[in-house]
Amino acid sequence: MSEPQRARAVFSTEDFRLLRTAVAHYLREVKDRPESLKYSHLYHRLGRVG
């Protein structure tokens, strides 16, 4: 029986920085909409990862 393969990272640290920048830009676009809170939370979670 062989061991399962080790999981590989899907995103690099640089990817998380880029995603956080993109979310920050979009967050300014939707700041007056109800979904802005979800994007704000995503922005902060991405900051903890990268």
Residue 25: both structure tokens together: 């830009």
Predicted pLDDT at 6? 86
Does position 50 have pLDDT exceeding 80, yes or no? Answer: no
What are 5-14's pLDDT values in tens digits? 888 888 898 9
> Tens digits of per-residue pLDDT, 17-38?
999 999 999 999 999 999 999 9
Kindly report the pTM of this predicted structure: 0.76
CB 24 within 8 A of CB 43: yes
46: helix, strand or coil:
helix
